[in-house]
């Protein structure tokens, strides 16, 4: 699902790749903290220490850069989550996963929200390609959660007929909603509460 960062038809030296990466990481950071619309290309130029012509050398325009940022953020989140969820196979493990997310979001008091969620909210209705990419990334993330629930099933913790996909969607909903509420309150408590409720429900399906 992850789109390749590099455009197909051009040669790219190591030096160029570094420049390109520098642009993307700077843009990712800015667009996460300020929002896509509020981030100008001049901001990106200043933050990355790259000239404007280079920006246009590597990206067709702002839309293309935004899409690259989405790919990059997506890869970052998915990699992190793949690692975090890889060996989780218990409710307690899910709770530790939740703790890590909340703790991580607490350092900024919930500000900026979820890296993918805030991009989605801003971009979904204005760039259909970006929307679909983000939709795929959410699906991938949910897939990782579904794997965990599958392992819970294998371990006999969850019944075989547990509706894994629905549970996964519900868990992701609670997570995203939690991020948004934390962002609005500048307090991570509602995020913790929201995810907790989803986990409680999943746990309640086990203890039968």
Q: Which of 54/153 has CB closer to a copy of itself?
A: 153
DSSP the chain: -PPPSS-TTS---HHHHHHHHHHHHHHHHHHHHH-STT--HHHHHHHHT--HHHHHHH-SSHHHHHHHHHHHHHHHHHHHHHHHHTT--SHHHHHHHHHHHHHHHHTTTTTT--HHHHHHHHHTTT-HHHHHHHHHHHHHHHHHHHHHHHHHHHTTSS-TT--HHHHHHHHHHHHHHHHHHHHHHT-SHHHHHHHHHHHHHHHHHH--
Q: Which of 85/195 has CB closer to a copy of itself?
A: 195
Q: Which of 32/59 has CB closer to a copy of itself?
A: 32
- Three-state SS annotation for 149-204: HHHHHHCCCCCCCCCHHHHHHHHHHHHHHHHHHHHHHCCCHHHHHHHHHHHHHHHH
Q: What is the Rg, in whole angstroms, of the alpha carbon atoms belonging to the chain?
A: 19
Q: Which of 47/124 has CB closer to a copy of itself?
A: 124
Q: Which of 25/193 has CB closer to a copy of itself?
A: 193
Q: Which of 61/163 has CB closer to DNA?
A: 61
Q: How far is the CB of 109 from a copy of itself (least distance, A)?
A: 10
Q: In the structure encoding, which two tokens stand for residue 77, read together?
A: 């989140």
Task: Name the residues that contact DNA, by CB under 7 A.
Answer: 10-19, 39-42, 49-54, 56-58, 61-63
Q: How far is the CB of 28 from a copy of itself (least distance, A)?
A: 16
Q: Which of DNA, a copy of itself, none has residue 143 at its interface (CB below 5 to 8 Å by kind)?
A: none
Q: Which of DNA, a copy of itself, none has residue 57 at its interface (CB below 5 to 8 Å by kind)?
A: DNA
Q: Which of DNA, a copy of itself, none has residue 176 at its interface (CB below 5 to 8 Å by kind)?
A: a copy of itself
Q: Which of a copy of itself, DNA, none has residue 161 at its interface (CB below 5 to 8 Å by kind)?
A: none
Q: Which of a copy of itself, DNA, none has residue 48 at its interface (CB below 5 to 8 Å by kind)?
A: none
Task: Name the residues that contact a copy of itself, by CB under 8 A.
Answer: 33-35, 37-38, 111-113, 117-118, 120-122, 124-126, 131, 134-135, 138, 166-167, 169-178, 180-181, 183-186, 190-191, 193-198, 200-201, 204
């Amino acid at each position: 699902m992850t789109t390749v960062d590099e455009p197909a038809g051009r040669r790219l030296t190591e030096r160029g790749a570094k420049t390109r990466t520098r642009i993307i990481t700077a843009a990712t950071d800015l667009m996460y903290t300020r929002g896509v619309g509020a981030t100008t290309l001049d901001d990106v130029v200043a933050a990355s220490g790259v000239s404007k012509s280079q920006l246009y050398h590597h990206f067709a325009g702002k839309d293309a850069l935004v899409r690259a940022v989405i790919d990059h953020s997506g890869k970052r989140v998915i990699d992190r989550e793949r690692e975090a969820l890889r060996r989780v196979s218990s409710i307690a493990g899910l709770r530790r996963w939740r703790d890590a997310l909340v703790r991580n979001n607490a350092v900024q008091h919930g500000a900026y929200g979820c890296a993918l969620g805030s991009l989605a909210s801003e971009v979904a209705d204005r760039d259909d390609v970006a929307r679909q990419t983000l939709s795929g990334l959410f699906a991938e993330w949910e897939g990782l959660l579904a794997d965990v629930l599958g392992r819970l099933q294998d371990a006999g913790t969850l019944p075989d007929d547990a509706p894994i996909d629905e549970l996964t969607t519900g868990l992701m909903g609670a997570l995203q909603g939690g991020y948004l509420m934390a962002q609005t309150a500048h307090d991570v408590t509602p995020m913790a509460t929201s995810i907790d409720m989803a986990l409680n429900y999943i746990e309640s399906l086990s203890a039968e």
